[in-house]
Structure 1
Amino acid sequence: MAPKKSAADDKLQLGRPGNNLRIGVVGLPNVGKSTFFNAITSSAVAAENYPFCTIDPEESRVAVPDERLDWLFANYKTGNRTPAYLAVIDIAGLVKGASEGHGLGNSFLSHINAVDGIFHVVRAFVDPDVVHVEGEVDPARDLDIIHNELRLKDTAMLNKYIDANQRNIERMGDGGSVEDRRKKDDFAVVVKVRDWVQQGNDVRKGDWTNKEIEVINVHHLLTAKPVTYLANVSEKDYLRKKNKFLPITKKWIDDNNPGDKLIPFSGAFETAIAAMDEPQRAEHLAANGNATSAFPKIITTGYDSLSLMHFFTAGVMEVRAWTCRKGVKMTDAARSIHNDIANSLIQVDVMKFDDLKAASSEAELKAAGKLIIRGKDARIEDGDIVYFRSGEGKAKK
């Protein structure tokens, strides 16, 4: 018997519906954004001590760590292992007044508009050699500045839409055609969202209906994007796990955006270990209390904030992690691989990762009767190992 559908299954999500989503690195100048980007991607993006050194956004893909993929690779003894990837975009620093064009703000804000989620880097270290664009280090003030600029930009975009359409909406009056009523309903949603943002709220924190979310997603609003906060601390503070700015940052998040994640990292520490070979890195980490990089946690948290998850295909040729949105149907998951598979999908053979690991092999799992057959309209779950059976003979394992 198919599981009962819950209301949550049909709740629409803010943002684009795709599987290949991008997350942008945002913050004030000189907070460590490009240092973070350089270390996490091993890229050569400029990170000089200059507020607008990174004028054009830089993009790189980073592998998403997953111990399940590692286990599958070891147990299937295949030669090819393909992880999932997260696209990370380095966006030059915003300043106060960016929504009005200050500091090349219009260009930078448009770059934020093009991403699906945000890594918000906030400075939590003091260094007299690295000037702070606002003077003293104050994470709460910096967070206020960035969020205010994003809200101001959203308000301006929504007001532009309202000004361009209000007269036509008023002319429609009461009643009208189905199309006219739809336009009036959509316009009312935009006004409601504009009022919400003007009151100092992010769009992503509103309780919206599916119809409202459909309208919101058309406008690609900046404050509708999920945010993961990254506090850049000194190497010393990172290793001793103590920093005077972290409680201030955490309080601001709890007061303004409760539920959002805060992850401390050290740009200096990550840069240093990124430059080491594996033996040097292992020795250095062991000498510092078995310290670990913050990047795996940052990548997986950012991935999760975009409502993405993994499913796997595994066989003698390759084990691979595929990306899809949480809660999608098998047909939508199959589309991550190929449209032809999705369009002709008949059924899906599913192995649960924990079941496969406990059985130790695919043959043992099948012998135990734990191979699950699902229809194309069933919902895929995180960690499923699948074999798509299509009507065109293009099953993917």
Structure 2
Amino acid sequence: MEVGVIGITKSGKTTVFNALIRSSTAQAAGQVNLGVAKVRDARLDRLTAMFNPKREVYAEVRYVDIPGAPEGLGRSQGIGGEYLNALQRADALLHVVRAFGDPAVPHINESVDPYRDVIAMDMELAFSDLAIIERRFKRLESDTKSSKPQERERARKEGALLERLRDGLAQDIPLRQQELSAEEQKALSNYQFLTAKP
């Protein structure tokens, strides 16, 4: 499993990342840090004691310390490029929010407001998903014109699902909170929607 650690610059992301992997790394500007944490499991310890295997292998969680969200996020600049790619590769997102004031570490928005920062990040994740949906709508529209009747029906169903998801996002309901059947979840698995990630 890969967990992306996200948040605005100087929110404490790297500090949380270091605590999770039990290490101490400094992040260079714009660079992604990778770390692995072994997941201790008492059941595995007990089985190892009982059966005495040659080696014991604990489950691992990979953490990715994604560079701080770009300045202007939620106002003038959306998620894109390398930042978007790093977010899409993650299986889950851990959003670190700054709730401390420190004159030595100025906030990029000049004042500390955790609620504002959460809303800005949530909006950008939703905007990213809406952009994916809009691009897919355009593709479905052009593909439908030259497709066979069976493919048109599949495209119609996909279009209806995407429209429902778009309406939910417009009402500030992330995809992970929208009700989807198993078939619908499978149909969406290739999209890498950010608001669908836990």
Q: How does the TM-score come out when normalised to structure 1?
A: 0.45
**2:131 is matched with which residue?**
156
Deviation string for 1:279-305 (max 9, x for gaps)? xxxxxxxxxxxxxxxxxxxxxxxxxxx
- Counterparts of 2:77 and 2:189 in 1: how far apart (Å)? 27
C-alpha contact 2:78 2:124 (8 A) present in aligned 1: no
| Counterpart check, 1:204 vs 2:176 | yes
Bigger drift between 83-92 and 182-191 goes to: 182-191
Residue 221 of structure 1, aligned match among 188, 193, 196: 193
Against the structure 1 CA distance between its residues 54 and 38, is the aligned structure 2 distance closer, same or farther, given a 3 Å change threshold? Answer: farther
**Whose Rg is larger?**
1
Q: Deviations over 1:221-274 (max 9, x none)?
A: 010000xxxxxxxxxxxxxxxxxxxxxxxxxxxxxxxxxxxxxxxxxxxxxxxx
Q: Secondary structure at the match of 1:135?
A: coil
After TM superposition, the structure 1 = structure 2 runs for residues 91-110 of structure 1, keeping only pairs within 5 Å, are 91-95=66-70, 97-98=72-73, 102=77, 105-110=80-85
Distance across 1 between alignment mates of 2:115 and 2:18 = 25
- Give the Å deviation of 1:200: 1.4
Question: Displacement of 1:121 after TM fit?
Answer: 1.0
State the secondary structure of the residue aligned to 1:81: coil
Q: Any idea what SS the aligned residue of 2:3 has?
A: strand
Match of 1:24 in 2: 4
Q: Which runs of 5+ in 2 are unaligned?
A: none
State yes or no: 1:72 paired with 2:47: yes
Would you tell me which structure has more strand in proportion to its own residues? 1
Relative to 1, partners in 2 of residues 1:220 and 1:105: Cα closer, same or farther, differing over 3 Å?
Answer: closer
TM-score, length-scaled by structure 2: 0.86
Aligned AA (1:29)? T
Counterpart for residue 98 of structure 2: 123
**2:35 maps to amino acid:** S
Is the contact between residue 95 and residue 145 of structure 1 (CA under 8 Å) also seen in structure 2? no
Residues 83-140 of structure 1: CA deviation (Å, up to 9, x unaligned): 1111111101114644798498532122101111011111232222111112222221
Q: 1:34 corresponds to which residue?
A: 14
Amino acid across the alignment from 1:38: N
Residue 118 of structure 1 aligns with an amino acid whose one-letter code is L
| Number of residue pairs aligned between Structure 1 and Structure 2 | 198
Q: Structure 1 residue 34: deviation in Å?
A: 1.2
Greater relative CO (CA pairs within 8 A, separation 6+): 2
- The equivalences for 1:1-397 within 5 A come to 21-43=1-23, 45-47=25-27, 53-78=28-53, 80-95=55-70, 97-98=72-73, 102=77, 105-169=80-144, 171=145, 177-226=149-198
Provide the secondary structure at the position in 2 that maps to 1:123: coil
Q: Do the aligned partners of residues 80 and 101 (structure 1) sit closer, same or farther apart at CA in structure 2, a change above 3 Å counting?
A: farther
2:140·2:155 contact (CA, 8 Å) conserved in 1?
Answer: no
- Preserved contact between residue 26 and residue 118 of structure 1 (Cα < 8 Å): yes
Pair 58,101 (structure 1): closer, same or farther in 2 beyond 3 Å: farther
Classify 1:25/1:84 alpha carbon distance in 2 versus 1 (closer, same or farther; 3 Å).
same
Give the aligned CA root-mean-square deviation in angstroms: 2.6
